[in-house]
């Protein structure tokens, strides 16, 4: 599959998923419909349920954190195929997990905390009713999460394409400079192409930063709090099996987002190498000055950040993990 086909496939997947849940923001003709009300109703139900649990369990720290880790997932929702597979597997676990636990352990345990008011979840009838509720809610969660994350990935991939194209143009320029009989017009045109492509890359990265900076801050903050809550619940409530699932889910989210941001960081470094590879000593003085400006801009390249605080990359991922460890140790000591 070519890069353009992969890119179009990602957008097409996002388009179809959002259309199925009545929230296709990619279609300029979109208007609210029956599926939109279904999606909004599920989100409101999830938010009300979590707020209710947070309020009723506020005096019990462990129970509060059990509800809080669910709140982190709900809040992220309000804000490729591989991603679709991850969420599909998660959904299968959410749906089949309670049934398997019921059959194997004879315990009625839900992975999600959303229940219909007035229904006893410990009874067989109540268990099945709430189980059906979760099955109804899952399509909205899959549609929202997968479409938004596929769109984010689809917007990051062109950065790599721009940098690779830039490298090809640099090779053409060096080839023109190394010719025995130089064609100054060709050299000038090729240098202009490189400058325009570099400017286009800067504008694209800046637009991506403006669009996603605050959204990434919200996403990473909620994942951060969710991981801390899940770890504390695991320490303090030995019989809470669901906390392990939330911990793995949130950790996967954190890893994937930081790795996607690392793509831009790596490509910025590669861009700087391409500029440094230009045979500047074979250019005239005016042309060489244009390279100096590109070098300065490349050394301070724009990348996607977490709310303009830290770049979204592997180094920040390690720092976040260290910070989570420190907070968990402190909280564990306080609770003891």
pLDDT digits (tens, 9 = 90+) for 84-101: 555 556 656 666 666 666
The mean pLDDT value for 28-57 works out to 65
Question: What single string gives the DSSP state of each residue in 239-256?
Answer: T--HHHHHHHHHHHHHHH
pLDDT, the chain, mean: 71
Tell me the per-residue pLDDT of 158-169, one tens digit each, with 9 for 90 and over.
777 778 778 888
Which range in 42-56, 102-116, 160-174 is most confidently predicted, on average pLDDT?
Answer: 160-174
User: pTM value?
Assistant: 0.57
Facing residues of 305 across strands?
311
Cβ distance 101 to 110 under 8 Å? Answer: no
Q: What is the pLDDT of residue 140?
A: 67
Share of the chain above pLDDT 70, in %: 57
Q: Tokens standing for 218?
A: 């919200």
Q: How far is CA 41 from the centre of its chain?
A: 24
The pair phi, psi for residue 21, each rounded to 5°, is: -105, 10
Share of the chain above pLDDT 90, in %: 0
Helical residues (DSSP H) of 178-284, grouped into ranges:
184-236, 242-276
- Mean pLDDT is lowest, of 76-90, 154-168, 283-297, 321-335, for 76-90
Q: How confident is the model at residue 326 (pLDDT cuts 50, 70, 90)?
A: confident
Which range in 31-35, 213-217, 236-240 is most confidently predicted, on average pLDDT?
Answer: 213-217
Q: What is the pLDDT of residue 75?
A: 42
**Calpha distance 115→326 (Å, rounded):** 34
Closest CA to 137 of 68, 14, 33, 48: 48
Tell me which residue has tokens 């250019």: 283
Cβ distance 178 to 270 under 8 Å? Answer: no
Q: How confident is the model at residue 64 (pLDDT cuts 50, 70, 90)?
A: very low
Which range in 12-26, 56-70, 299-313 is most confidently predicted, on average pLDDT?
Answer: 299-313
- Burial of 305 from C-beta contacts in 10 A (0-12 / 13-18 / 19+): buried
Q: How confident is the model at residue 8 (pLDDT cuts 50, 70, 90)?
A: low
Question: Who wins on pLDDT, 105 or 293?
Answer: 293
CA distances from 183 to 186, 191, 281 (A): 5, 12, 16
């Amino acid at each position: 599959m070519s890069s353009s086909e992969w890119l179009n496939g990602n957008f097409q997947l996002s388009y179809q998923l959002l259309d199925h849940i009545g929230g296709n923001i990619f279609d300029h003709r979109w208007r609210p419909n029956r599926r939109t009300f279904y999606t909004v109703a599920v989100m409101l139900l999830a938010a009300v349920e979590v707020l209710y649990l947070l309020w009723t369990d506020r005096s019990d720290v462990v129970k509060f954190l059990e509800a809080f880790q669910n709140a982190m997932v709900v809040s992220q929702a309000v804000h490729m195929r591989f991603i679709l597979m991850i969420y599909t597997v998660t959904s299968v676990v959410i749906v089949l997990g309670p049934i398997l636990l019921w059959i194997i352990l004879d315990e009625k345990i839900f992975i999600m905390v959303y229940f219909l008011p007035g229904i006893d979840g410990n009874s067989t009838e109540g268990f099945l009713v709430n189980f059906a509720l979760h099955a109804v809610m899952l399509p909205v969660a899959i549609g929202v999460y997968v479409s938004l994350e596929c769109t984010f990935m689809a917007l990051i991939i062109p950065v790599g394409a721009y940098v690779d194209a830039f490298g090809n143009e640099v090779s053409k320029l060096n080839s023109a400079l190394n010719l025995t009989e130089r064609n100054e017009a060709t050299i000038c045109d090729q240098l202009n192409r490189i400058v325009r492509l570099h400017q286009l890359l800067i504008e694209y990265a800046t637009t991506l930063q403006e669009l996603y900076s605050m959204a990434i801050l919200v996403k990473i903050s909620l994942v951060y709090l969710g991981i801390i809550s899940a770890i504390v619940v695991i320490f303090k409530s030995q019989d809470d099996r669901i906390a392990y699932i939330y911990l793995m889910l949130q950790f996967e989210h954190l890893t994937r987002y930081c790795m996607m941001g690392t793509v831009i960081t790596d490509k910025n470094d590669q861009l700087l190498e391409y500029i440094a590879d230009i045979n500047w000593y074979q250019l005239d003085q005016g042309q060489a000055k244009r390279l100096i400006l590109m070098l300065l801009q490349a050394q301070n390249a724009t990348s996607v950040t977490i709310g303009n605080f830290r770049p979204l990359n592997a180094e920040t991922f390690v720092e976040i993990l260290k910070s989570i460890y420190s907070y968990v140790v402190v909280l564990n000591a306080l609770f003891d």
